[in-house]
């Protein structure tokens, strides 16, 4: 009779598994980078919408960097920007990308994982 050999099982709590429905920490520092193209209507709308979202939902905890690709086109390569406006959440990890003018606030909040903590 052959003996079955298995690897030892590691005990894991739900917290160590990174449960999907876990709420993000409330005191995290947020770093956002918004790529735009000059003063176009969509670029201006994206800047205004991002500032409104940050002021409303992350007051005092959000840093916004606006990158104008008309002035600095080489910056698009580093973050692999293929469309503008594009928002990249650098912190907290994982990195998230949102393309568009950020006018669909509910979808933006869900993408940034803010909807569950603010609802």
pLDDT per residue as tens digits for the range 84-113: 999 999 999 999 999 999 999 999 999 998
Mean pLDDT score of the chain: 82
Cβ 48 vs Cβ 56: under 8 Å: no
Lowest mean pLDDT among 50-54, 57-61, 112-116: 112-116
* Closest-CA residue to 109 (of 39, 35, 29, 23): 23
Gap between the Cα atoms of 17 and 86, Å rounded: 30
* Closest-CA residue to 35 (of 2, 84, 102): 84
What does the angle CA 116 – CA 92 – CA 16 come to, to the nearest 5 degrees? 75
Q: Maximum distance among all alpha carbons in the chain?
A: 76
pTM above 0.85, yes or no: no
Query: Over 50: is that where the pLDDT of 119 sits?
Result: no
Query: Over 70: is that where the pLDDT of 12 sits?
Result: no
Query: Over 60: is that where the pLDDT of 118 sits?
Result: no
């Amino acid at each position: 009779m052959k003996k079955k050999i298995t690897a030892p099982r590691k005990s894991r709590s739900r917290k160590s598994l990174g449960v999907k429905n876990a709420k993000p920490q409330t005191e995290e520092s947020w770093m956002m980078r918004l790529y735009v193209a000059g003063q176009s209507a969509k670029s201006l709308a994206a800047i205004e919408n991002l500032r409104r979202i940050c002021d409303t939902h992350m007051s005092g905890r959000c840093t916004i960097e606006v990158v104008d690709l008309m002035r600095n086109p080489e910056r698009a390569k580093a973050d692999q920007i293929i469309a503008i406006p594009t928002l990249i959440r650098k912190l907290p990890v994982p990195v998230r990308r949102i393309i568009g003018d950020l006018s669909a606030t509910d979808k933006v909040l869900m993408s940034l994982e803010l909807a569950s903590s603010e609802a």
